[in-house]
Structure 1
């Protein structure tokens, strides 16, 4: 699989397999096995997803060597703070049955109890990330859902700048300011939920013409759009046929007119998230 190169020289596969909401044990384990068998090399996890043991089981049963897989996980909101991070990382490593993570992210910039002092909270949390990175337990470190003000706080005050920012990117939600800042500072953009507007866009006449122009599925067009933005799409499905489809997007390119349409398309159902406040509590976060 083609790769991007992070600022520290680490290669990261250009398309990721997401595990959010994969809570059915059989579906989650088999989904990982199918994904790796079909050619995915990049697995995106998070402790709050409450399925990292299942992901680890799927990796083990796949027979694929650990060195051939890029694994990402994320810090729970309730585990912010220097004193909590190491314990949290050790729990994730144990669940995934590995002794290192290829990438570890702060999942959300503003969390409960730190609405006012989020700057200090993120710097305190990030200090532990830096130490674990220097120890080799984390091969790369980054953030998720960070806007420019959150990124500036780390870039300007931390010893090591974030290497990745995982944010919501798809037609209808292009965070232009964040994307420009990340490109300027060599922070790789990862796009979660890249297929979110699929069901709405497939009814659009212009989008239908784009599909016909290339003989590609709606999902393949949307994944290609993310790649041509220079970002890394994180796809999610438990169906092998769709996994295979999502990987086969390197044999065509979108025209400037097609990119412009997708970049300017809007719909009232799709708006950026407000990440300047505490993230709404997740039921799973309280159970781990």
Structure 2
């Protein structure tokens, strides 16, 4: 079972008390994909739900118009505000985390449920298997359409017994825009979601070549970056808090770079 994602996702991390306001602006700008996590340390999922309720009541969108993605985060990635009983088995923690997310978002299902990073930075562990199997069970119950992973290495993906629908990684130009992972995803029919495309790559995006491409296309650096990401097979995320920048980011969907420009940007740093 697949869940069709839009071409752009709005990321809700690090917005704290502005979360509801920012998600409302994103929906008004035209975003229909919202990425969040049940990790109060970095996300305010309740705020996302408040914005969704307002959008529904205002008639701006219906639930079926939206792609909602949330995440399960291990205790080591949380602060004291846990969405589950830390003494419970991992499978129960997954169940409790998703149940809490569904309540926050006031929905019977999410479109995508993502493991917010494996237990180890070096290998796929027995704990990850337990969590993944619990996530599969949630998919079978219909509480999520698909399941995915985030913050993974190639080794993690190669060790997984199952193929995720999505991989979401911070995307560094210095690593060839995460070329190894993107290649694996393309070969296995996995959708690659890239985040921090702007903030993680400031030196590259200031390169005269990128500036020249932007000038030639009569577009901003962010628009060129997101168009480039899409053209190399990526589903990009943006987390801007500016309504104007939200509109500009979405306008990148109408921008197509010449192939030589795509190749030039891809080769800038690895």
TM-score by length of 1: 0.81
- Higher RCO structure (Cα 8 Å, ≥6 apart): 1
How far has the Cα of 1:104 moved from its partner?
0.6
| Rounded Cα–Cα distance in structure 1 between residues aligned with 2:184 and 2:265 | 21
Residue 35 of structure 1, aligned match among 26, 32, 37: 26
Among residues 133, 139, 154, which one is paired with 1:148 in the alignment?
A: 154
Q: 1:65 aligns with which of 62, 65, 75?
A: 62
Query: Residue deviations 1:248-267, cap 9 Å, x none?
Result: 01333222322122112239
Q: Give the count of matched residue pairs.
A: 251
Q: How does 1:42-61 map to 2 (within 5 A)?
A: 42-48=33-39, 49-61=42-54
CA RMSD in angstroms, aligned pairs only: 2.0
Note the 1:99-248 alignment, pairs <5 A.
99-111=108-120, 118-154=124-160, 157-158=161-162, 161-173=163-175, 174-197=177-200, 199-201=202-204, 203-248=206-251
Measure how far apart 1:165 and its partner are: 0.4
Say whether the 8 Å CA contact 1:15–1:233 is kept in structure 2. yes
Q: Closer, same or farther in 2 for the Cα pair 1:107/1:234, shift >3 Å?
A: same
In 1, Cα distance between the equivalents of 2:173 and 2:219?
Answer: 17
Give the direction of change, closer, same or farther, for the CA distance of 1:217–1:170 in structure 2 (3 Å limit). Answer: farther
8 A Cα contact 2:124 2:159, kept in partner: no
